[in-house]
Amino acid sequence: MCGIFAYYGPKTNAGKILVQGLKSLEYRGYDSWGIACKNDSDIAIYKRTGKIGDITSLPKEICGQTTIAIGHSRWATHGGVTRENAHPHSTEDNEVVLIHNGIFENYLEVKKQLIKREHKFKSETDTEVIAHLIQENLDKEGLEESVRKAILKIEGRYAIVVICKKENKIIAARRGSPLIVGVGKNKEFYIASDIPAFLKYTNKVMYLDNNQMVVLSDAKAKFYELTNKKEIKKRIVEITWNPESAEKGEYSHFMIKEIMEQKETLYRVLNQDDKIIKRAAGMINKAVGTYFIGCGTAGKVCLTGEYIFSEIAHKHINSTFGSEFPAHHHFITNKTLIVGVSQSGETADTLEAIEIAKEKKAKVLSIVNVETSSMAQMSNMVVPTKCGPEKAVASTKVTTAQLGVITLLAYACAGRLNDGKTLLLETAGKINDMLNPRYEEHISKLAQKLQNFESMYIIGRGSNYPMALESAIKLQEVSYIHAEGFAGGELKHGPIALIQKGTPCIVLCANDENKKAILSNAMEVKARGGYIIGVSPINEDVFDYWIRVPDVSTASPIVNIIPVQILAYKLALLRKNNPDMPRNLAKSVTVK
């Protein structure tokens, strides 16, 4: 979590560039923010709680003549949301100033030693400790070497960017958390947690890999291995995202823009080279044991994958959350295949699971949206979801694209890739027809009915059971209404006790072999007073409110989740929540 953005170059309005760029990283954390600008021999620091402010309200030393600047947007881990705990952090005299994303796991131990050596701290953060560690060697060894030595003492995942008063340079390093170097015109460089921060200025990037550092000085970027200081030559890569795709355009929020982009994202999944899908399917067919691993929504997609593979490829797949995988590692061998599923490719729990599996020599296939992410780099093979940037915290278009990729893989494993492609092509067309203003309006009306409820439930069976779980995540994270998903058949074993007169219950009903059973479950809820919202191709008697979805056989999880995404968005608006930046959350969860 947390967004990092730094500028080094000839432009003299670095402060302004940072404030604008940081706004596009706010999805990574939006508790508080700050920037530091280096002037001839001093560093000015400006920090605030809350969302990123207006450039016009910034003090002169921040917006004025400055060519080296670092900025940060925070998602709190160590220490509450206060101005003191916001980044950048510095030593007492602002000699060393830095920003940080990640967790310095052994910071308390190191802090105690520093306190004994009379260092004084202003915040409760782990980050401030790094600034003091760097300062200890600064006079003797210079910034580069002091940063390198300090970092080697840090346990955990991190990305840091450091400046100091005495040297005109920026040093950045990473292990686990992302950092990308943007190469602009006229020898200017950007360093950011994600590409949209600088996409307006350049689409040329160089990737900083794990355990590497980059030094920006004398109008050059030099890369080194952290452990032995060996210099590394980097290739400049051009990325194809256009700046508009990272902007809201005509929409009021990224969430609704990304929901609507599902009119075309399945087509992009289909436009992959068949060879990629066939090669990936070959890895699954060859493996002795396959684990799908993801977190949050991606975790629910993994569980859906178990059902899809069982039905289409008659193949057993295990799935688990990244955070739970460490308990399964005893089964992993060099014949196991791990399939990491992630939008960002930076989710710490999923990355750690992959690391554990790699230690056991398992093979790794990843289904990621950010093709340049840590997960992609750690994998033997990558199947991209090709959705372009997804910026709203709530995952929408990437969820359905991940389901699309998994469906194609299952068909390819069964030797029927063409059938899978035909099904997805048909589904993509039907989604295109479905996402029209009348459809949105119909769901808005439902949102008006539901906006004041304290709880709602979602049920599904088969591959729509994980989608009931995913529906609950969507509703929770942006509407803040208590929502829970259940397997339809499980209701009678306990949860049905929660149903009272008027309790909303969304029923995900596909036109498949589970239909009769899920409709019986809906009847059981209705008999206890529940208000039944049917998401289904056919309007059934039991439904009090019907949301039509196309009949697309085994692709039903893809179409069934879309109206719930819209409902969650509409509820967020009615309840005056910001759907793009829900409270307590961040888009990319780069801490354990």
Pick the binder of ligand M6R from 343, 407, 463, 521 (CB under 6 A). 343
The least distance separating ligand M6R from the CB of residue 372, rounded to whole angstroms, comes to 14
Contact residue for ligand M6R among 150, 283, 295, 383 (CB under 6 A): 295
φ and ψ of 112, to 5 deg: -60, -45
Minimum distance of ligand M6R from residue 172's CB (angstroms): 22
For residues 591 and 127, give the distance between their C-alpha atoms in angstroms, rounded to a whole number. Answer: 14
Tokens of 163: 């400046």
Regarding 296 and contact with ligand M6R (CB under 6 A), the answer is yes
Is 587 catalytic? The answer is: yes
Q: How far is the CB of 418 from ligand M6R (least distance, A)?
A: 29
Size of the chain, expressed as the number of residues it contains: 592
DSSP 3-state of 322:
helix
Distances (CA, A) of 131 to 96, 137, 143, 469: 6, 11, 11, 43
Nearest to 215 by CA among 90, 68, 12, 94: 68
Nearest CB to ligand M6R, comparing residues 125 and 590: 590
The 417-456 contact track toward ligand M6R, x by CB under 6 A, reads ----------------------------------------
Q: Which 366-425 residues touch ligand M6R, going by CB under 6 A?
A: 393-395
The residue among 135 and 396 lying less far from ligand M6R, judged by its C-beta, is 396
The conformation of residue 452, written as its DSSP 8-state character, comes to T
Of 363, 397, 474, 587, the catalytic one is 587
How far is 248 from 52, CA to CA, in rounded Å? 17
Query: Interface with ligand M6R by CB under 6 A: which range of 99-107, 293-301, 497-505, 548-556?
Result: 293-301
Q: Assign residue 497 a region: left if phi > 0, alpha if psi is -120 to 50, beta otherwise?
A: alpha
User: Is position 2 annotated as part of the catalytic site?
Assistant: yes
Q: What is the DSSP letter of 209?
A: P
Q: Which of 342, 379, 464, 560 binds ligand M6R (CB under 6 A)?
A: 342
345 Rama sector, left if φ>0, alpha if ψ -120 to 50, beta otherwise: left
Pick from 410, 502, 408: which is nearest to 452 by CA? 502
Q: Could you tell me the CA-to-CA distances from 560 to 237, 259, 431, 507, 573 in Å, in that order?
A: 38, 13, 10, 10, 21
Least distance from C-beta 207 to ligand M6R, angstroms? 18
Give the C-alpha separation, 194 to 5, whole Å. Answer: 9
CB of 61 to ligand M6R, least distance (A): 37
CB of 294 to ligand M6R, least distance (A): 6
The rounded distance, in Å, linking the Cα atoms of 466 and 253 is 26
Query: What is the C-alpha to C-alpha distance for residues 24 and 237, in angstroms, rounded to an integer?
Result: 21
Among 91, 347, 471, 536, binds ligand M6R (CB under 6 A): 347
Please work out the total of residues on this chain that contact ligand M6R, with binding judged by CB under 6 A. Answer: 16
Q: Which residue is nearest to ligand M6R (CB)?
A: 296
> Per CB under 6 A, does 533 bind ligand M6R?
no
Residues 348-367 that bind ligand M6R (CB under 6 A): 350
Which residue in 23, 52, 46 sits closest to 94, CA to CA? 46
Of the two residues 171 and 302, which places its CB atom closer to ligand M6R in the complex? 302
Does position 472 bind ligand M6R by CB under 6 A?
no
Tokens of 41: 């021999």
Tell which one of 297, 407, 427, 479 touches ligand M6R (CB under 6 A).
297
* Least gap, CB of 450 to ligand M6R (angstroms): 19
How far, in Å, CA of 533 to CA of 334, rounded?
47
Relative orientation angle of helices 397-413 and 262-270, to the nearest 10 degrees? 30
**The only residue of 99, 191, 205, 473 in contact with ligand M6R, by rule CB under 6 A:** 473
- 394/535 with CB nearer ligand M6R: 394
Token duo for residue 379: 């994998």
The answer to whether the CB of 402 falls within 8 A of the CB of 319 is: no
**Taking contact as CB under 6 A, which single stretch among the options 130-138, 292-300, 414-422, 442-450 is the one that binds ligand M6R?**
292-300
The residue range among 337-345, 429-437, 445-453, 545-553 that interacts with ligand M6R, by the rule CB under 6 A, is: 337-345
Q: Which residues lie near ligand M6R (CB under 6 A)? A: 295-298, 342-344, 347, 350, 393-395, 473, 477, 588-589
Would you name the residues annotated as active-site residues? Answer: 2, 587
